[in-house]
Structure 1
Amino acid sequence: MAYSWIYDKYGHLDGDLPTEPMTFEKNLLGYRLVIVYEPEHDYWKMNCMHIDMEAPGQVWVTEAECYPEEDGRQMLSVRNSYAVSEERRGYLNRYFSCPKFYSNIADKIGLFDVRYLSTSRKIIREYQIKKIHDLILSRRRTMPVCLVVSYERDNGWLNEDWLENFRVYDFTRMAGRYTHIYTCNMDIGNQLLESLDIPLEEPTVFVFKSAVSVPKGDIVGQRTVYKEEDILNCSFGRQQMKQEGRRYDIVKGGQAFYHKLLQEMRAEMMDA
């Protein structure tokens, strides 16, 4: 499947490009493609360098590697990078957006960080408690975990009125590409947090930092806790670009908490 993508993308450049994976090297004007294929070891690696057709002076390098893990799983890793000349570096933002590039990968391919990241709202069920417990404590996790625990209404829906106008759905849609976001009721929350030796007395938002950013591995001890009082008293200064120019205002309550938490998650991702 991975090789078919290469053939579909670059096959038109050279009629001699093999239709099946094999070890070879091709050098064309503006392109360089190297394939290492070892079927006896279930191993395959590709390195492709090509010019950017939209940004003059910029070169893209794609590295893909398919290999077996010790537990027998076949893994595929892909890394994209680019190089640009010093004199063209100032024009880079005109052609390339890092957030957009990251979003395209997240939306079209998906992101896996111990568990899959998602921009869809996720409600924890009882059978998932152990998995979320392991996710929070995992030393391999590179993204933060945000857990929103609320009371449950009589109809079974979560009562998130205490969050004021902080909407979990909107927050998940914005931050779900770089944050594990989960919601649950008080009963599920108590079971999960009790396994982590964390008390729960009222609706709360918990943020567990990524393992790579926690000193001495104390993931649970370095958590951040936000309760209803913290949200109601929250304020946030934001800048907005309007037709008349840049505008600065201060929002409060749930709306402020939305911006504050979003900023915190983005900073956590950059640190990772």
Structure 2
Amino acid sequence: MSAGSSMAAALGGLGLLHGRFRLAAAAAATSSALSPRAPVRGGAATFPSAGRNYGSEAKEEEELRVQYLDEEHKGIVVLGLNRSHAKNALNKNLLKMMSKAVDALKSDKKVRTVIFRSEVPGIFCAGADLKERAKMHSSEVGSFVSKARATINEMGGTQRLPRAIGVSLAKELIFSARIVDGEEAKSIGLISHVVEQNEAGDAAYRRALALAREFLPQGPVAMRVAKLAIDQGMEVDLVTGLAIEEACYAQTIPTKDRIEGLLAFKEKRSPRYKGE
């Protein structure tokens, strides 16, 4: 999402992914943490070096690095953007790799949370690759934007930004293209967390990782339907939203996880959910 998705963010950057896992996006506009003075508009953050590896398995795929974390972080996958020469600007190739990676993760039941982060020091994502866009034929642009929106749920700022911070303020930011720092972004509800940078340069990622760890012990089925209820409910009136919530809850009733939760409560122990 990410969660972390986080030390400076892109306005309309990487957000929650559709599917059964959760996203904590490092330096994203959703579930993110920013350094107090990091500007928000296309992204500007300080992150660990690209070579840093926090997991037992890391796969280098040109401009996208996939890391499966282990031990107490097992179930968390980190997708690292690594287009240093272009400040992680999103081009067709990177979007294709991101889409492929996300599709693979959706079918992996062991994956519980996904974190998007930058592997490039000093930047998260500069937005769309305008150099590539300038070379596109007009007939290609629409398709590119559609694919980008399908991969990155937070694109579509004219619709999503007003829903997040209100119509008036959204118009102000969009019309002026004004840069806001981390503190202001948090104060207007654009992001969730602001953190002070640390010596390693990965304070936001660490915050996103801590948030992702909070998701791990929760029931996968309950989290999936809760996410569905929230996402769909935000687009309709309250009465319809409550009906969506009821329908989503009904999906949990026949599951083994629901029984496990009840037994764990009765036996005064932590539940052991399996997503079944």
Asked whether the two chains share a fold, i.e. TM above 0.5, the reply is no
TM-score, normalised on structure 1? 0.24
Higher normalized contact order (CA 8 Å, seq sep 6+, divided by chain length): 2
Q: Normalized per residue, which structure has more strand?
A: 1
Task: Choose 1 or 2 for highest CA Rg.
Answer: 1
So what's the TM-score if we normalise by structure 2? 0.24
